[in-house]
Structure 1
Amino acid sequence: MSSSASHHNSVDQLEQFQQNVWPVHHLADPWFLWPSNSTVHMVVNNVYERDGVGNFVIALYKLLRQHEIPCQLYAEGYESYLESLVNPLDRLAKIVKPSDIIFVHFSIYLPNLDKIAALTCQKIICYYGITPPDLLSTFDQNLANQCQWGYDQGPLVRHFQKLAAISNASAKVVNSFLDAPRSVAIIPPVLNLHKWENIASEPTTLPPYRRRFLYVGRVVPHKKIDDLIRLYSAYHALDPNSCLLVTGFNDFGNYKVMLEALLEEQPRSARERIYFLGPVSDGQLKFLYQNVDAFWIMSEHEGFCIPLVEAMAFELPIFAFAQSAVRETLGESGLVFYQKDMQKLACRVYQVLSEDSQRRQLVMAQTQQFKQLVKDSDGRAIWRLFESCLGQIYASSI
């Protein structure tokens, strides 16, 4: 693509981004007027679509923009079409005012966090959960180092007036960084759980098997795609007319090599029914959710797990390893397991999906949990955080 064509494409994407605002009738309006002299400065490592943190930052930016609240973005990496909207991290200290609010999204080592922590305006830091380095070091030592450095930055949260986390599990980690416990606001990292209503399904060719299982997310070590392969191999022995569909980027160096070797160890009939689809569009993902039979996840580290919520929205039975944030997101729904006994689990999956009453009971519980998540994600928690900051700004000015 020529530089001119690339430029026009970025301009078109930016215009679409600025115009593509979802209906706000599902979200709570702020119950206070925003002062004209206060700007929200949102700081994050990266702003990329199809990334949980990036998606939430984009959604929050759009929410503030819809309410005509001044907002600036700061990041190291970002979608090319966002270049005119994103500021470099080192610019923040030069332009922030005492009447402003800084909102840091903390999920890995963040350059300049010590300098941001030293600024004297009102500051919020939201912790997403940093992947434990030991889950990554075998496959990517550099990324493991970034995670360790992020943990080392943890004590800096004490310099922020307002603390937030995306789950109670993450909130416990925040308090582990402190000498004494503090209140941590829980903010689920989703603002538009009704977004699928406005996305057109994009049909794509699917394997012609009676039963299809789906995983949505990154193909990285701590998501334990290797355990998904082992589970499907065990399940396939019970139900050969089935397949496993894995979405997401599959370019994680040594981990990809390990998965390829693991596939070769499986019976040929099973490995031929495991499909790595790569990244998919929202429309294609909607089609997948509409045309599979269950959602599987074996992850050993999550901060919240948005795909679980999406699977609930599409009334898919969920089978999930009982990682703490996964259990919290599911509540008393789904079918969670504490041991990865693949043979036993495969039998249980087969049993649930073979008996309509068990499947319906599972989905009904998930639907109730989804309704609660919709309520918890209506924006009120965010408005409360901002109002609390504004109250402190006002109190210090009189």
Structure 2
Amino acid sequence: MRIDQILPAFTGGDAISNYAVELRKFFQNWGYHSEIFVPAANYNAGIDQVCRPLSEHSRLSSSEDIIIYHFSIGDITADYFRKADGIKIIIYHNITPAHYFAIVKPEMAIALKQGRQKLLELASVTDLALGVSEYNRKELEAAGFRRTGVIPLTINWSGMDGEPDRDLINKYRGKGEIILFVGRVVPNKKIEDLLKAFYHFKLIKPKASLVLLGNYRDTPDYYEFLQRIIQELDLKDVIFTGHTTHDELLAYYKLASVYLCLSEHEGFCLPLMEAMQFGIPVMAYAAAAVPDTMAGSGVLVKEKNYPAIAEMAALICDNPEFRQKIIKGQYRRLDEFRSFPLEEKLKEMLSPWINQG
């Protein structure tokens, strides 16, 4: 028997790709043949030690095998999964609602809308649908999937090891508070709201900086919109890092005073957990899967009251006792997350189809 996984693409260091590698270890430890497959368009020599072309899957698999599809956007992988033989399982990483991209990147909006439609089409042919958060599971249920569950992401904590970029550390240390956000500069992340909150924070902490760590080149119209807001507010010390090295990422995490996320749509939001790992107090807007990920830790922002958000961030910076209380609660959340029996839970969910003897 085989337990294979298919992904739209595989990228080293990417959360979904790392997750698939970790699950493959489980399946192989259970004694099953297990490989990861990606479409030929996204297959290259750099991943040939980890993946195989999707075109090879059909000749290797049978109707008794399990095929797990990591669904994050509709593409040809969804069509293959729908038509394939075997026991079909989806792990749903969520799809950003199309309306966020309708103006700044219409072609992306179309792809996202098509992805939502493909998800609906897969409901009738899928044996088990798993979300990486309870929020995602509820979306699967609403889409018509009969059997659903939650199986959280794994986090490669070793990826947080290493030596931070010393030049960056020396450049910013002692020069004012740093508000950090990590993620792509795209509309659902609501970077404009971060700018507005930072405007009010800057009134309290004039030396502060806002670091927006993530790629902005894929959404140039949105980036220009953000630049206009910066000019209108006469904001200084807003840093768009673009692509960063691993050492630079570590440095920004080490430097951050507060991690602030005002995103309106997240299927899990891994950077929240990374920030907790670095002992950074986390403030995050209570939207989509964020409350599931935070699980009572950090500071959950219920309303986008920018002056109030700024005042809370300043309090965290100025009150060591309050700051430590938040960090302590976040470490408890991390311990809870790490102790989740992922392999045991996954085996239980697959038990109707696998031989556990």
**Same fold, judged at TM 0.5 (above):** yes
Tell me which of 128, 131, 136 is aligned to 2:96.
131
Aligned pair count reads: 350
Match for residue 297 of structure 1 among 258, 261, 270: 261
1:53-99 deviation per Cα after TM superposition (whole angstroms, max 9, x unaligned): 23322443455567775322222325651146433434433331234
1:171 Cα offset (Å) = 0.4
- What is the alpha-carbon distance in structure 2 between the residues aligned to residue 235 and residue 377 of structure 1? 41
Partner of 1:25: none
Q: 2:58 aligns with which of 93, 105, 114?
A: 93
One-letter amino acid of the structure 1 residue matched with residue 68 of structure 2 = F
Instruction: Give the corresponding residue for 1:234.
Output: 200
Partner of 1:108: 73
Closer/same/farther in 2, CA of residues 63 and 220 from structure 1, 3 Å limit: farther
In structure 1, the gaps of 5 or more residues are 1-37
- Any idea what the Cα deviations from partners look like across 1:167-223, whole Å, max 9, x if unmatched? 000001001111xx744221112243x325643434342435221111111111111
3-state DSSP of counterpart to 2:215: coil
Counterpart CA distance in 2 for 1:389 and 1:285 is: 42
TM-score, normalised by the number of residues in structure 1 = 0.81
Residue 166 (structure 2) aligns with: 203
Aligned counterpart, 1:244: 210
Question: 1:231, 1:346 within 8 Å by CA — same for their partners in 2?
Answer: yes
- Unpaired runs of 5+ residues, structure 2, are none
* Bigger mean CA deviation after superposition, 181-190 or 54-63: 54-63
Higher relative contact order (CA 8 A, sep 6+): 1
1:323 partner amino acid: A
1:184 equivalent in structure 2: 148
Q: Which residue of 2 aligns with 1:12?
A: none
Aligned to 1:254: 221
Farther off after superposition, 221-230 or 155-164: 155-164
Instruction: Identify the residue that residue 39 of structure 1 maps to in structure 2.
Output: 2
Measured in 1, the distance between the counterparts of 2:341 and 2:181 equals 23
Q: Which residue of 2 aligns with 1:367?
A: 331
- After superposition, the CA RMSD in angstroms is 2.4
Determine the C-alpha separation between the residues in 2 that align with 1:354 and 1:198: 28
Deviation at 1:123, TM superposition (A): 1.8
Q: Distance in 1 between matches of 2:299 and 2:317?
A: 12
Q: C-alpha separation between the residues in 2 aligned to 1:175 and 1:135?
A: 23
**Are the equivalent residues in 2 in contact too, given 1:207–1:243 (CA < 8 A)?**
no
The aligned counterpart of 1:16 is none
SS of the residue corresponding to residue 68 of structure 2 reads strand
> Aligned letter for 1:164?
L
In the TM superposition, what whole-angstrom CA distance separates every residue of 1:331-365 from its partner, at most 9, and x where no partner exists? 11111212212112111211232112211221122
SS at match of 1:104: strand
Aligned counterpart, 1:355: 319
Range 70-79 or range 98-107, more displaced? 70-79
TM-fit CA distance, 1:373: 1.0
Match of 1:327 in 2: 291
